[in-house]
């Protein structure tokens, strides 16, 4: 599984295809990244073909990186080029 820590990519966020997979209530209630497109995890795993192109690399972010690790493994098994953003939003706003 491809992974990278949020602190490594902080200065590159606008150059990445960043997807925030947090659920709607979490996404609305907690801080978010302006650069990230919001696609709730359940929608993304149910029909990735509606949101992703297999020729494009996507970086997945959630609250801590735990959910994105699982989703990254699943989407990779389907042939998508995805990267788990370790540390997630907790680490992003921690520093």
Is the Cβ–Cβ distance between 11 and 92 less than 8 Å?
A: no
Residues 6 or more apart whose CB falls under 8 angstroms from that of 14 comprise 35
Domains (range + CATH), the chain = 3-94 (3.40.250.10)
pLDDT of residue 95: 60
pLDDT of residue 29: 83
pLDDT of residue 66: 93
pLDDT of residue 47: 98
CA pair distance 71, 2, nearest whole angstrom: 12
Is the Cβ–Cβ distance between 17 and 41 less than 8 Å?
A: no
pLDDT of residue 2: 94
pLDDT of residue 26: 87
Name residue 78's beta-bridge partners: none
pLDDT average per 10 residues of sequence, the chain (95 residues):
93 95 89 93 98 98 94 98 95 80
């Amino acid at each position: 599984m491809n992974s990278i820590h949020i602190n490594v990519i902080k200065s590159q966020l606008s150059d990445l295809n960043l997807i925030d997979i947090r659920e709607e209530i979490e996404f609305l209630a907690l801080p978010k990244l302006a650069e990230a497109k919001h696609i709730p995890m359940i929608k993304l795993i149910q029909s990735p073909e509606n949101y992703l192109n297999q020729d494009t690399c996507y970086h997945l972010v959630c609250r801590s990186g735990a959910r994105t690790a699982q989703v990254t493994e699943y989407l990779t098994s389907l042939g998508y080029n995805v990267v788990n953003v370790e540390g997630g939003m907790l680490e992003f706003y921690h520093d």
